[in-house]
Structure formats: C-alpha cells, structure tokens
Amino acid sequence: MTTDLLFQILGICVVLSPALLVAVLGFTSLIRKPLSEQATNRCTYATIVVGLVAAVLILAMMLAVGTRHVPIELGNWVVIE
C-alpha cells in the first residue's frame, strides 16, 4: 500500500464519518423512529473518534513523509468545457 493510497483512504474517512452520522440521524428521523439519546450519543462519539484518529494519522504521515499538500480527489463533480 502506497502512502498516496493511505492518504486517500484516511482523507475519505475524515470526510465520510460526519456525513454518515448526518445520514443515519436524518434517515431515522425521516422514518419516524429516531434513535434514543444514548444511541445518538454513542454514534456521535464513534464518529468523532474515527474522524479525529484519521486526521491525526494524516498529520503524522504528512510530517513523516514531508508532504504539505495532500489533495483528496473524489472525481469531477462539475466539468465546464
């Protein structure tokens, strides 16, 4: 596994974890079966831990490798010709 691939995976984890939390909390509210306060607390805690660990690992890798610019590309969302 190359460092570029690891940067990409960790960067996606940083972005995807809060988005997944919003999706779970929103979906459960839409189907009128919201999570309990304890379940919401656990989901939020897990999301914060996953995002923070991924961000700290990216920082450590950036310092170890010496790169300062790590773009996380998720495709072309808008193409203007």
pLDDT at 62: 95
pTM: 0.84
Q: How sure is the predictor about 72, in pLDDT bands with cuts at 50, 70 and 90?
A: confident
Residues in the chain: 81
pLDDT per residue as tens digits for the range 37-50: 999 999 999 999 99
Give the list of residues 6+ apart from residue 44 with CB closer than 8 angstroms, or none.
21
pLDDT per residue as tens digits for the range 8-55: 999 999 999 999 999 999 999 999 999 999 999 999 999 999 999 999
For residue 49, give the 3-state DSSP assignment: helix
